[in-house]
């Protein structure tokens, strides 16, 4: 892709608005509310999301978003019409799929992403929020909805003072496979915003167990897997 083509993609992405002017709760306000961010910080992360998207469609190697940018991406994916019909089809003019990665892989690949961003977009990553970000949880939130919004990185920050290192690592690994299976299935099926998070199926639980086994982590049965996930959700509900 030559420079003029790059600049055209960048221009289209910058002009795209994630906020629907007719929405009762615009995208940016929902994003800020769910992550405990200020309006100014939220806009900064949205700007970084747009830079990342340009990079994702143009880079010659896989790229990984920062945790904050990933929160924008995940929320945007739930706005299925905006993301697939408007953003991908009309703005990017190609599909951009999200392939969830293990939380450790995030750290390994982030350096490569940042190097490319620096060279192509003069990118300055957004600084981290000053304190661990709480989840958007209320008494109506199901265990599966709580886990569906809690990235492994956020879980690590929220529970670092609550668990020993071994239990914390296991919690993050459980959450990572939950995202790789359950959340990925929801995104692939384009289950949109506001749709309830039903319990994982027996097949999904077995797939999670299989992924954990590859990492040397044993879970005896789908029932045991579900019980561990619910225990993790209960702990996150308590700290949020």
Interval 101-130: pLDDT, tens: 444 444 444 444 444 454 455 443 444 444
The last residue of a domain, from among 99, 130, 161: 130
CB of 75 closer than 8 Å to CB of 27: yes
Weakest mean pLDDT among 6-10, 81-85, 132-136, 216-220: 132-136
Handedness of CA 130, 135, 139, 140 (dihedral sign): positive
> Residue 1's pLDDT is what?
60
Same structural domain for residues 22 and 37?
yes
Contacts of 93 (CB under 8 A, 6+ apart): none
Query: CA–CA separation, 61 vs 223, rounded Å?
Result: 39
Same structural domain for residues 219 and 113?
no
> Residue 129's pLDDT is what?
43
Same structural domain for residues 107 and 208?
no
Structurally, the chain folds into a number of domains equal to 2
> Is 66's pLDDT higher than 80?
no
Same structural domain for residues 34 and 125?
yes
Interval 171-230: pLDDT, tens: 988 988 898 889 878 877 766 555 788 999 999 999 999 989 887 889 999 999 999 999
Q: Kindly state the DSSP code that residue 56 receives in the 8-state scheme.
A: H
Same structural domain for residues 90 and 142?
no
CB of 180 closer than 8 Å to CB of 211: yes
Same structural domain for residues 119 and 170?
no
Same structural domain for residues 91 and 143?
no
> Residue 144's pLDDT is what?
92
Query: Which structural domain, as residue segments, surrounds residue 58?
Result: 1-130
């Amino acid at each position: 892709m030559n420079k003029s083509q790059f600049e055209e993609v960048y221009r289209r992405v910058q002009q795209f608005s994630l906020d629907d002017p007719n929405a009762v709760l615009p995208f940016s306000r929902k994003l800020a509310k769910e992550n405990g961010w200020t309006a100014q910080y939220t806009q900064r992360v949205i700007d970084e999301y747009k830079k990342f998207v340009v990079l994702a469609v143009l880079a010659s190697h896989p790229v990984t978003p920062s945790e904050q940018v990933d929160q924008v991406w995940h929320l945007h994916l739930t706005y299925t019409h905006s993301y697939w019909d408007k953003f991908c089809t009309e703005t990017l003019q190609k599909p951009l799929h999200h392939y969830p990665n293990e939380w450790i892989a995030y750290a390994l690949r982030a350096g490569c992403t940042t190097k490319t961003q620096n060279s192509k977009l003069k990118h300055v990553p957004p600084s981290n929020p000053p304190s661990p970000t709480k989840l958007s949880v209320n008494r109506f939130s199901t265990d599966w909805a709580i886990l569906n919004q809690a990235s492994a990185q956020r879980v690590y920050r929220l529970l670092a003072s609550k668990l020993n290192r071994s239990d914390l690592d296991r919690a993050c690994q459980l959450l990572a496979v939950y995202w790789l299976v359950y959340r990925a299935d929801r995104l692939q099926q384009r289950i949109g915003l506001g749709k309830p998070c039903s319990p994982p199926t027996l097949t999904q639980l077995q797939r999670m167990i299989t992924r954990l086994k590859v990492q040397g982590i044993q879970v005896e049965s789908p029932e045991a897997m579900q019980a561990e996930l619910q225990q993790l959700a209960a702990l996150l509900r308590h700290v949020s």
